Amino acid sequence: MSDDANARSPEQAPLAALRRFVRPRAAVEMCDLCSVGLAPEHQHLMDPATRQLLCACDACALLFSTQAQTKYRRVPRRIRALPGFQLSDAQWDEQQVPVGMAFFFYSSAEKRVMAFYPSPAGPTESLLPLESWNELVAANPILATMEPDVEALLVNRLKGAREYYLVPVDRCYELVGLIRARWRGLSGGAEVWQEIAQFFSRLQSRAVPAAPAPPAPPPEAHA
């Protein structure tokens, strides 16, 4: 990685991941580690410090885990649907997201949960009150199983939808890239809304229901 990437400011970090999805794709994408040619569907690595996504072949991706304290972390492939997710309209308002769609993940570099929503300008951060997030985790213990940096809660409440997923973080940047590339005018245009609907349709078809998180152990009795 270049010195420019290492010196990237926090404001630029979300765009580092997004560039992978908005720039024109080469005829054959190459592994960023070994330069072998990649299939259209391939693995990604995340640099937690800069939030830059790298394309990787299976062999290189296997050198990294999703949680180990290495320079890069492997982005998981699983997509988990959360059909029983508990989030009221009032709780959603507490997340301070001005639109009906957002993703949330824990940043090990920032040591906090971060919230972003897609916009025509790219991923826009929304200030996330810690108390409201803790309440959300208490109501939905599955959120405690999110893997730092590489897995996110993706929320879709657009046009009456109530869809919730735990997804690889690269899927979130794919969605943001789609919106940034296709948005036209003030309302976005018919094409972008059709693309968003198709994105969530593909997500739903690939998702498996998340297994319930184990309940917290009861407090120990004191003599």
Domain that holds residue 115: 80-209
Question: Which residue, 74, 92, 119, sits at the end of a domain?
Answer: 74
Helix (H, G, I), strand (E, B) or coil at 151: strand
Residue 5 belongs to some domain of the structure:
no
Same domain, 99 and 197: yes
Question: Which residue, 58, 74, 90, sits at the end of a domain?
Answer: 74
Question: Which residue, 50, 74, 98, sits at the end of a domain?
Answer: 74
Per-residue pLDDT tens for 74-86?
A: 999 999 999 999 9
Same domain, 51 and 107: no
- Bridge partners (DSSP) listed for residue 163: 156
Same domain, 34 and 129: no
Instruction: Say how many C-beta atoms besides its own lie within 10 A of residue 62's C-beta.
Output: 11
Instruction: Say how many C-beta atoms besides its own lie within 10 A of residue 122's C-beta.
Output: 18
Whole-angstrom Cα distance, residue 18 to residue 14? 6
Task: Report the Cα 131 to chain-centroid distance in Å.
Answer: 21
pLDDT-derived band at 4 (thresholds 50, 70, 90) equals: very low
Q: Spell out a b/e string for 132-151, using b for 16 or more CB atoms within 10 Å of the CB, else e.
A: ebeebeeebebbeebbbbbb
Helix (H, G, I), strand (E, B) or coil at 122: strand
Per-residue pLDDT tens for 97-141?
A: 889 999 999 999 999 999 999 988 889 999 888 888 999 999 999
pTM, two decimals, is 0.84
Same domain, 117 and 165: yes
Q: Of 23-27, 29-33, 95-99, 185-189, where does the model show the most confidence? A: 29-33
Which long-range contacts (C-beta less than 8 Å, at least 24 apart) are formed by 135-143?
A: 135/91, 135/94, 136/87, 136/91, 136/95, 139/86, 139/87, 139/91, 140/82, 140/85, 140/86, 140/87, 141/212, 141/213, 141/214, 141/215, 141/216, 142/80, 142/82, 142/166, 142/210, 142/212, 142/213
Enter the DSSP assignment of 159: G
Same domain, 38 and 119: no
Same domain, 134 and 117: yes
pLDDT > 90: what percent of the chain? 63
**Domains identified in the chain, total number:** 2
Same domain, 106 and 178: yes
Same domain, 30 and 120: no
